[in-house]
Amino acid sequence: MKVLPGEKPVVLEQKVSRRSLLGGAATAAIVLAQAPFGKAVQAALSEKEWKTDPTKVPGVPPGTVGTRSPFEKPVKKPSDISSRTPLQNLYGTITPSDLHFERNHNGVPAIDPAQHELLIHGLVEKPLVLTLADLKRYPSVTRICFLECSGNFRSGNPKLSPQDICGLTSQSEWTGVMLSTLFREVGVKPQAQWFLAEGSDAAKMTRSIPLAKGWSDAMIVYAQNGEAIRPEQGYPFRLFLPGYEGNMSVKWLRRLELSDEPFMTREETSKYTEPVKDGKIRYFSFDIDARSIITFPAYPAQVQKGWIEIRGIAWSGRGKVDRVEVSTDGGRSWQLAQIQGPILDKAHTGFRYLWHWDGNETEIQSRVTDETGYVQPTYQQLVAARGSKGGYHFNPITGWVLQRDGQVLLRT
């Protein structure tokens, strides 16, 4: 193999075993020998080697799983209880599975699918116990849908990114069984009106769900973006309720109990309720209200005057996005954004608006209207309607201030 003067070959001959290749070319990779091969080799490359003319040395051989370029480092932002999707680093509308947000009330359980069962009982003709293998024998359905935590709101600091403000929403292509298929299998008794879903994590998450949702579009999903659902998302399977607050899509599902009334669990009485007016509390607020957010330009982006493609996502738990408007003058005037089709039901939908920025300080905003006619409210409208400054189901218009120096900050 020809090596340019002063350069060190990175990967040597083609006909070497993986072992000798790891040993010969990449010392650090020996430690990583159990890691995916390509990743191990790449991780072992020094910065100088990445700068070698790639046409002068053979590349890394194919591996067992793909890798992300070490120049791209999108990461979730974890706290003790959740981990947020880096919306500002994503393209299109599918969240890479390893960047799907997480909200765990007592950690991610380790579940062996061979030991895991789902019980369906209560007001049914024929109670049923199902394993993952059993579920996979039923007719399957695949759909693209967002999942959002109803606690997905933060504000108060100009240096918050879309991830910080709104990173508890993600979108996947989900595959599983319609709950209606399983309802037919067990035979629902006429008195049944609700069902309880219970998880097998240490939080034993339980929520009551109206039976009608079970008959319409509820699913039990075991796959996400073409592979088995990830442990963080509920492996081996979870309930998935399109458009409903994320909390009800119980992960690591182990039990469904049909009943004539709701169970009034902790998560639907003490938690996941929100103040409305006059000291009243609203509960069983299932639908995710329509929301949009500009993900570029947004903090921490730095921009230059001239042409800027404003980009973002919009979604509604009640159906399809009808339109998205963008304002480049702090909400005084609005223009229609372009929507990236296909527009799917209850799905993150991309929008863009090409804009020429003159370099003067201004504020950009986006506002979605869904197919029911619901218009995304301002923060002031929400506070006036609810009499509170936050809580669950808070979906205000987000504004980004473009400063003259090109720094983009959250309007607080």
Which spans of this chain sit near Mo ion (rule: CB under 5 A)?
103, 149, 246-247
Number of residues that bind ligand MTE (CB under 6 A): 20
Instruction: Compute the least distance from the CB of residue 199 to ligand MTE, in Å.
Output: 2
Residues 136-155 that bind ligand MTE (CB under 6 A): 147, 149
Question: Residues 10, 99, 102, 153: which binds ligand MTE (CB under 6 A)?
Answer: 102
Q: Does 222 bind ligand MTE (CB under 6 A)?
A: no
Residues ≥6 apart with Cβ < 8 Å to 224: 97, 100, 172, 173, 174, 175, 230, 233
Tokens of 118: 């789902």
DSSP state of 58: -
Helix (H, G, I), strand (E, B) or coil at 207: strand
Cα 264 to Cα 262: distance, rounded to the nearest angstrom: 6
Burial of 226 (0-12, 13-18, 19+ CB in 10 A): exposed
Q: Which one of ligand MTE, Mo ion, none interacts with residue 325, CB within 5 to 8 A by kind? A: none
Tokens of 42: 């790449």
Q: Does 203 bind ligand MTE (CB under 6 A)?
A: yes
Judged by beta carbon, residue 17 or residue 79, the one nearer Mo ion is: 79
Judged by beta carbon, residue 103 or residue 143, the one nearer ligand MTE is: 103
Instruction: Compute the least distance from the CB of residue 239 to ligand MTE, in Å.
Output: 8
Neighbours of 90 (CB within 10 A): 20
Per-residue mark of binding to ligand MTE, 282-321 (x: CB under 6 A): ----------------------------------------
Strands 306-315 and 349-357: antiparallel
Instruction: Compute the least distance from the CB of residue 55 to ligand MTE, in Å.
Output: 42
Judged by beta carbon, residue 251 or residue 291, the one nearer ligand MTE is: 251
Judged by beta carbon, residue 230 or residue 352, the one nearer ligand MTE is: 230
Q: Does 201 bind ligand MTE (CB under 6 A)?
A: yes
Residues 225-254 that bind ligand MTE (CB under 6 A): 232-233, 246-247, 249-252
Tokens of 399: 């504004």
Cα 94 to Cα 245: distance, rounded to the nearest angstrom: 19
Concatenating the DSSP letter of every residue in 156-174 gives S-TT--HHHHH-SEEEEEE
Range 8-13, long-range pairs (CB < 8 A, 24+ positions): 8/48, 8/49, 8/52, 9/57, 10/45, 10/49, 10/52, 10/57, 11/41, 11/57, 11/58, 11/59, 11/60, 11/61
Q: Does 101 bind ligand MTE (CB under 6 A)?
A: yes
Q: Does 118 bind ligand MTE (CB under 6 A)?
A: no
Q: Which one of Mo ion, ligand MTE, none interacts with residue 201, CB within 5 to 8 A by kind? A: ligand MTE
Judged by beta carbon, residue 203 or residue 339, the one nearer Mo ion is: 203
- Alpha carbon distances (Å) from 24 to 28, 57, 105: 10, 15, 46
Q: Which residues bind ligand MTE (CB under 6 A)?
A: 100-105, 147, 149, 199, 201, 203, 205, 232-233, 246-247, 249-252
